[in-house]
Structure 1
């Protein structure tokens, strides 16, 4: 950012609007001025050419017998600047103002001797008024010229006349043969200069006013547009670790600022969720890790206090069990707090069930039975869905008396996975609480068999992440946990 450019967005916007509008008005002013000047100049040249043609026609008519009276109206304006030159280069007649405006005026040259009868020229001449009291400006004029053949001598003599028209001062005498004359007429720029000056005066007043109004409009518009941003900033400034529930105001307008506010609130939602997960992780870890750590420490301290009477293999075995429980609790807690990406693959739950049943068939404990009704393909991650089924089976194995039944089937657009054990079951009042972290029920389903207390919590979390659900449903005997997942199309 340049040092001279304001840091404030509002001031920067207003300054940018002022600079842009000033540039646009300046270019428009220059363009309009040049356009008007060129149009008026072309119009003045066309009008002067018409007047020059009338002068030539007047000489022709007068030479054909109409006499000097035909020259009376040849010059339509008394302020016209003209000059008539003979082939010898001597001036025949010239405007009286011409020598007043340039005391050192040198007559223009005649047309070339070989010039045709329709010869025309457009040239320039500079008038130098010198110390003339009423006209001190040096100016270059456009001068139009043409020739007239066979002009009677009585329309020429005497030479060197100065007048406001073509016939003043003529003597009517002259026996010389007809001559060719070169007529020059100056293009008078006064109308062009006056209109351009009026345009300049007008724009000198209105252009700065328009630039000022543009800057003010930009200032107030930017302030109004940034008002919601300031409200968002103030609200964000109040957000802290103890006030993550606050949200920024969303403007009613559906513009970019409203989208920014919505995105900010979405980010705050994720931040609050992450903060809650962190707090739960800290609380759960501090609560659940305390018991196995205390047990591990107490066992080791007792053994060290009486090393000669300690059964060190048994101490090591108990310590290993406590360490394994600590590992399970830590892994489950990390799994709950980790951000798992959305499922991208497809998994056949029938294969997952077959693998898990085959793995547990060789282990001591309850008998596992499975009923699979055809392929049961769902969108998901194989590791996660295997973890879901493993947790359900581990939970059932801890509480089953003799058998566990696993069934998989399709129902409409869902795949239904059921795990049923023949244990004491779960009371209706506890069917939701059993999915809470470290939930403790009665002694029949207490965590006395090595569980971390997070298995069902993890299982439901995986089911929800895969767009499904996990519930405890009615059964004649034991606990019946049912997971429903969307079926792959």
Structure 2
């Protein structure tokens, strides 16, 4: 499916800004147009109502003795009026209407019995077949008022035309008539102002849309320039160039934070890549030694099969296979140490007692335990048992005669200590022994088959359970101290 919307962020922002600007300005122009039209129409209506009051007042003053002079005083600036008798015939029509010679329907008189303050609003359409496009030929709003008891001398003859109410008067008599005065509301000011407004907006809105689109185009380009630089730099990053970093703009905005986060991610990827490289190299070296030993022993035995001590060959092969199995198990265990630790309640004291009881049956250094009461932590029993087992294996491997295990509580923390009376670990190497496949020279010379991953795995388990594992000072030998949050 083909999308009409541009894919480019810059073009999308520009188009969106232009459309929104056009929509808002159009709605605003229509709203202002309606507001101005209503305001001007209301003003024209009020002006017409005031002029109509003058016409009605002129008739009333003239009826009370003012005579034709009072009618002549009612002069309008833009007179479009018609006075209708109760018979429906026009009494006097303004020249402004007559000169157009329209075909129109004169509004009817006020209904019989209408009160003296009767008012009406109606619509009258002026039209002409000869000049249909004249601006005067349109629908007008017309205001009407009633005037009672007007002497015939101020009315007759009917059908007069002029710009004043007394134009063509020559009647006389004692009768009185009721008249309905209609005045047209002139729309010319409203039309002119609205036309000027529409013309202005017709030029302003497109100009405003173009200006907003240009501003959005350049602003988007400036905002996306660092993003493009980040993209180009990331495109150059590969498995052999993880040391490259994206440029960080000086704007301290979202793009700058994105660049910082990207560089942090690249740092982590770089470090992980370096660790993976070292890990693969060390693992290949550690696995190569038992495999080579196993293969050499089997090849020699097969070359001299008649003189080989096959039980001894099988025993040596089994030892090498066991070493491979330990290395593989530790590697697999380290590979799954990334998830959160379970939240089961585990009693470290019970684990220590089980391990000490198990090792009391084996030959080698004596394992002594000093434990407090119940020392509960939250975690996984199998993992914590492996941590303790690895620490004990390391201590037994290097101890001369005694290994001591101590479990205590301190400020809500469970402290597990495993110490031996062996050669110990020099202070500069206390962190290095926790790296993968790192064994000190003296330890390697006395190694009885360790994988080089036991202490690494022990620290990973402690960290996974929210604790720590480090080597601390002791009077003799090495002293490993694990601190875990108590439950």
TM-score (norm 1): 0.90
Match of 1:230 among 205, 228, 231: 228
The equivalences for 1:254-293 within 5 A come to: 255-293=253-291
Contact 2:431 2:470 in 1 (8 A): no
Cα pair distance change 1:89/1:412, threshold 3 Å: closer
Give the distance between the partners of 1:30 and 1:39, measured in 2 at CA.
14
Give the distance between the partners of 2:427 and 2:102, measured in 1 at CA.
123
> Can you list the C-alpha shifts for 1:179-206, whole angstroms capped at 9, x where unaligned?
1112111111011111111211222222
> Can you list the C-alpha shifts for 1:29-50, whole angstroms capped at 9, x where unaligned?
1111111111111221122122
Name the counterpart of 1:32: 32
Contact 2:93 2:159 in 1 (8 A): yes
Name the counterpart of 2:177: 179
TM-score (norm 2): 0.90
Q: CA RMSD in A?
A: 2.7
**CA apart distance, 1:400:** 2.5
**Do residues 418 (structure 1) and 413 (structure 2) align?**
no
> Can you list the C-alpha shifts for 1:27-85, whole angstroms capped at 9, x where unaligned?
111111111111111221122122112211111111111110001122322x3111112
Name the counterpart of 1:142: 141
Contact 1:62 1:69 in 2 (8 A): yes
**Do residues 396 (structure 1) and 395 (structure 2) align?**
yes
**CA apart distance, 1:408:** 2.6
Name the counterpart of 1:202: 200
**CA apart distance, 1:401:** 3.1
Give the distance between the partners of 1:104 and 1:20, measured in 2 at CA.
48
Give the distance between the partners of 2:244 and 2:412, measured in 1 at CA.
39
5+ residue gaps, structure 2: none
Give the distance between the partners of 1:125 and 1:444, measured in 2 at CA.
115
**CA apart distance, 1:324:** 1.0
- SS of the residue corresponding to residue 228 of structure 2 reads helix
**CA apart distance, 1:452:** 1.4
**CA apart distance, 1:255:** 4.2
Name the counterpart of 1:73: 73
Give the distance between the partners of 1:324 and 1:223, measured in 2 at CA.
63
**CA apart distance, 1:9:** 0.6
Give the distance between the partners of 1:64 and 1:412, measured in 2 at CA.
111
**Do residues 83 (structure 1) and 91 (structure 2) align?**
no
Give the distance between the partners of 1:429 and 1:281, measured in 2 at CA.
22
Give the distance between the partners of 1:334 and 1:328, measured in 2 at CA.
10
Contact 1:370 1:407 in 2 (8 A): yes
The equivalences for 1:372-391 within 5 A come to: 372-378=371-377, 380-391=379-390
Matched pairs, number: 485
Name the counterpart of 2:120: 121
Contact 1:100 1:129 in 2 (8 A): no
Give the distance between the partners of 1:328 and 1:428, measured in 2 at CA.
28
Name the counterpart of 2:17: 17
Give the distance between the partners of 2:158 and 2:281, measured in 1 at CA.
121
> Can you list the C-alpha shifts for 1:391-429, whole angstroms capped at 9, x where unaligned?
121122223333222223345565443323233444556
Give the distance between the partners of 1:206 and 1:286, measured in 2 at CA.
75
**CA apart distance, 1:316:** 2.3
**CA apart distance, 1:14:** 1.1
**Do residues 211 (structure 1) and 209 (structure 2) align?**
yes
**CA apart distance, 1:282:** 1.5
- SS of the residue corresponding to residue 147 of structure 1 reads strand
Give the distance between the partners of 2:443 and 2:162, measured in 1 at CA.
135
Cα pair distance change 1:484/1:29, threshold 3 Å: same
Contact 2:421 2:478 in 1 (8 A): no
The equivalences for 1:38-77 within 5 A come to: 38-77=38-77
Contact 1:85 1:93 in 2 (8 A): yes
5+ residue gaps, structure 1: none
Contact 1:378 1:485 in 2 (8 A): no
Name the counterpart of 2:243: 245
Give the distance between the partners of 2:29 and 2:47, measured in 1 at CA.
27
> Can you list the C-alpha shifts for 1:193-243, whole angstroms capped at 9, x where unaligned?
111112112222222222222222222222232233223222222221122
